[in-house]
Amino acid sequence: MGAGAGEPFGQPLNFQIYLPIAEVSVNLFHILGAGLAVGFWSGLLGVGGGFLITPLLILLGIPPLVAVSTGANQSVATSVSGALAQWRRGNVDLKMGGVLLAGGVFGTVLGVRLVYTLRQLGQFDLAVAVTYVVLLGTIGLLMLIESIGAIRQSYAGKNTSVRPPGQHHAWLHGLPYKMRFNRSKLYVSALPPAVIGAFVGLLSGVMGVGGGFVLVPALVYLIRMRTTIAMGTSQMFIVFGSGLTTILQAYQNESVDVLLAMMLMVGGVIGAQIGAAVGQKFNGEQLRAALAVLVLMVCFRVAFDLLVTPSDLFSIAVMMGGR
């Protein structure tokens, strides 16, 4: 455990840990540092952090499938405390959360099945990398443009809030299956939240993300929920949605590395507390801009590894037969 893979036990300790499911050796402090960093940003910005931990794990040498499955597990761990805090503040709409989860279950099952199919075709690693580049690049760019505009309006003394609840898009009024969501003070069709939940569930199943960085903007800008209620309801969705992803990935693909998840949780809990304390010193526009920059940095790094020719063009793998 102390020495690297293949090294004699007489070698000095280098804090290498062998992960049985990932089948690789990693540096203990690198994994703890990744969990600490993601936990910090989760506490600072109020997001689950799954969209950060998965590419970080891939960059640290963790196989993409294990990174996706363990990233979902990390989203559960970092979101439980946030969901409880939001519940105590009265920021969770249980009825809206139930509609989101109904769609999320369908999307998650479909996503995990898609992962299995891509693995059989040998295209999973490429699909994950390309999806991350496209999704993170799009979301990060839109968030950066919006946050810069909000900061400029703030300095100009203008109101930077979004349209208040109740003023919905015109297309929402004609949709069937309307429901009254008392906590959110909304009377809208259940179809848009169910579709949003299905999409986020699909992302969770394929990419291991909690989906808060997609779910919160969708609820605020499309459904017109108040931001605080959207964040609390999103945390509730992440806990159950990512939990389902973890269970399905462990059953279908046998790709959840418990040892890796435990190390990430230790760093994540510490980082979240630090991030929450630091976050009180900044306003919302500055935090959104910081998140956008961070998302774009991760996107560029994944794109760089995807496009640049590797130093070793060939690899030799031992094909195991009946043993």
10 assigned to some structural domain: no
| Total number of domains in the chain | 1
Type of residue at 177: Y
63 assigned to some structural domain: yes
Token code pair at residue 263: 């190390």
The kind and range of the H/E element at 27 are strand 24-27
- What residues in the chain have per-residue pLDDT under 50? 2-6, 8-12, 162-166, 314-323
288 near 221, Cβ under 8 Å?
no
Of 37, 85, 63, 13, which Cα lies nearest the Cα of 256?
Answer: 63
Structural domain of 89: 16-306
Beta bridge partners of 180: 187
| Alpha carbon distance, N-terminus to C-terminus of the chain | 25
Query: What is each CA distance from 201 to 88, 117, 146, 171, 191, in whole angstroms?
Result: 26, 17, 25, 24, 15
Spatial separation of the C-alpha atoms in residues 168 and 223, rounded to whole Å? 7
198 near 103, Cβ under 8 Å?
yes
Of 218, 291, 254, 279, which Cα lies nearest the Cα of 112?
Answer: 254
Spatial separation of the C-alpha atoms in residues 270 and 32, rounded to whole Å? 10
What local confidence, expressed as pLDDT, does residue 5 receive?
47
What sections of the chain are H helices per DSSP? Answer: 28-45, 50-59, 64-88, 94-121, 124-155, 170-173, 191-207, 212-218, 227-252, 258-279, 284-307
Of 193, 243, 256, which Cα lies nearest the Cα of 219?
Answer: 193
pLDDT tens-digit map of 52-68: 787 788 888 888 878 87
70 near 57, Cβ under 8 Å?
yes
1 assigned to some structural domain: no
Burial annotation 54-84 (CB, 10 A radius, 16+ → b, else e): bbbbbeeebbbbbbbbbbbbbbbbbbebbbe
Spatial separation of the C-alpha atoms in residues 123 and 92, rounded to whole Å? 39
3 assigned to some structural domain: no
If phi > 0 it is left, if psi is from -120 to 50 it is alpha, else beta; for residue 314 that is: beta
Interstrand relation of 186-189 and 24-27 (parallel, antiparallel or unpaired): unpaired
What local confidence, expressed as pLDDT, does residue 198 receive?
92
Site of tokens 């979301």: 139
Spatial separation of the C-alpha atoms in residues 142 and 163, rounded to whole Å? 18
Query: What is each CA distance from 310 to 98, 208, 315, in whole angstroms?
Result: 46, 25, 11
Interstrand relation of 24-27 and 16-19 (parallel, antiparallel or unpaired): antiparallel
What local confidence, expressed as pLDDT, does residue 149 receive?
77
4 assigned to some structural domain: no
315 assigned to some structural domain: no
319 assigned to some structural domain: no
Beta bridge partners of 26: 17
138 assigned to some structural domain: yes
Of 107, 135, 288, 136, which Cα lies nearest the Cα of 196?
Answer: 107
Of 21, 114, 77, 50, which Cα lies nearest the Cα of 243?
Answer: 77
Of 86, 7, 76, 29, which Cα lies nearest the Cα of 256?
Answer: 76
pLDDT tens-digit map of 159-195: 555 444 445 555 666 677 888 888 888 888 888 899 9
What local confidence, expressed as pLDDT, does residue 226 receive?
82
What pTM value is reported for the model?
A: 0.68
